Amino acid sequence: MSDNPHPNLMNMPEFFLKSILNKLDVQSVQTMRKVSPTFRYYVDHSRLDSRILKIEVFLQNPEKMSLDLKTANDLFEIEYLKNGENGCFVKYRNTSKEVTCQNIATTLGNDLGLILKKQLSVVKEFSLMCNENCLTTTCDEFVGALSGKLAERESPFKLKTLSWEGSIDEGQIMPLLSHCDRIHINKIELQRLNKSSELRPLLGVEEILNSPQWGRIKTFEAVGFVVANQMRHFTHLTSANFLIETVTTEDIMTLRQTALQTTRFNEFSFSYVNFTDETQLFGLFGQPHRTEHMKNKWIYKYPGGRDALLVIWETNRFKFSHIQPRSFDKFGIPKHDLVVL
């Protein structure tokens, strides 16, 4: 009788086993973890890639949540339903799993965290939508479980866009952002969907603004909030849309200077509540190019190029736009009359 074991997955060389597992989708990899302790150890300690492109988390209410995972070839829609005081059902397509001794938000956070522990490639967008009734305890439990799993990664999480919609507690953003690779993070979107309520200050973000990730952010959007921080925290952005509490003429001049330093600049729009030295603007910034449709418009030529920087000042709002020559007519820009600084 031969002493050689019968061929099976358990004694397959690691190279071939990894090749097989790399071809499996997210659900199949998680199923493989349940086959045996050996497979669970291998999946958890090997460098597989979940290959997620987009993540959407919906915290509808404390009794119902969902997770959508988009890959290049498939969409995984997973539903979480509360079951009793400390349990839940996890539903995916035609299957259902009961989880006991763990609440619904923690289960969702742990599940997503396990998947993202195996994510090597870049995720294009992580989107979280949180309803008002999930803002405090429920969202804290989800963020705590997810950030705990992200902390176990061997390397920072590669994410391009972090999007948070609905009710937002700024203190819940940093636990997720801190685990993002600062090389890849490019955009942050914050949108408060309860438009019927008054705008409130976007507070408690000093830790975010001083983080290594913030220094790499190029696009920032905040809808439904008043940014209480100084404009200097945002002048490195190449694309923006937000409402700031206070702006000064010096802020406007700094924005013009930084915008003209790179052709990668796109569009920087902001509204303001207070303009502390508005009467000094024309004297320091220069007289505007007047037209019938816009009262205040400035047009500058990019150094060493043909492109133009268009600055428009309307009621309580400034807009800085990078315009290419083919669009000059559309914006009423005189091709041979650009201001050179």
Express each pLDDT in 197-246 by its tens digit: 566 676 667 888 889 999 999 999 998 888 888 999 999 999 999 999 99
Say if residue 120's pLDDT is above 70.
yes
Backbone angle region of 332, left / alpha / beta, with phi > 0 → left and psi within -120 to 50 → alpha: left
3-state class (DSSP) for residue 156: coil
pLDDT digits (tens, 9 = 90+) for 12-21: 445 445 555 6
Alpha-carbon Rg for the chain in angstroms: 25
* pLDDT value at residue 24: 60
Per-residue pLDDT averaged across 248-259, rounded? Answer: 96
Percent of the chain at pLDDT > 90 equals 59
Per-residue pLDDT averaged across 249-268, rounded? Answer: 95
Q: Answer whether 56's CB lies under 8 Å from 67's CB.
A: yes
Give the C-alpha separation, 228 to 170, whole Å.
Answer: 13
Per-residue pLDDT averaged across 124-146, rounded? Answer: 94
Q: How many CB atoms lie within 10 A of CB 305?
A: 10
* pLDDT value at residue 15: 46
Per-residue pLDDT averaged across 129-144, rounded? Answer: 92
Give the C-alpha separation, 253 to 97, whole Å.
Answer: 59
pLDDT digits (tens, 9 = 90+) for 86-119: 999 999 888 898 999 999 999 999 999 988 988 9
**Inter-CA distances, 257 with 9, 180, 240, 285, 340, Å:** 62, 30, 16, 11, 12
Q: Which distant-in-sequence residues (6+ apart) come within 8 Å of 85 by Cβ?
A: none
pLDDT digits (tens, 9 = 90+) for 285-335: 988 886 666 679 999 999 988 999 999 999 899 999 999 999 999 988 888
Indicate the domain borders of the chain.
12-46, 49-229, 251-340
Q: Which distant-in-sequence residues (6+ apart) come within 8 Å of 292 by Cβ?
A: none
Angle at 266 between CA 204 and CA 234, to 5 degrees: 20
3-state class (DSSP) for residue 322: strand
Chain-wide mean pLDDT for the chain? Answer: 86
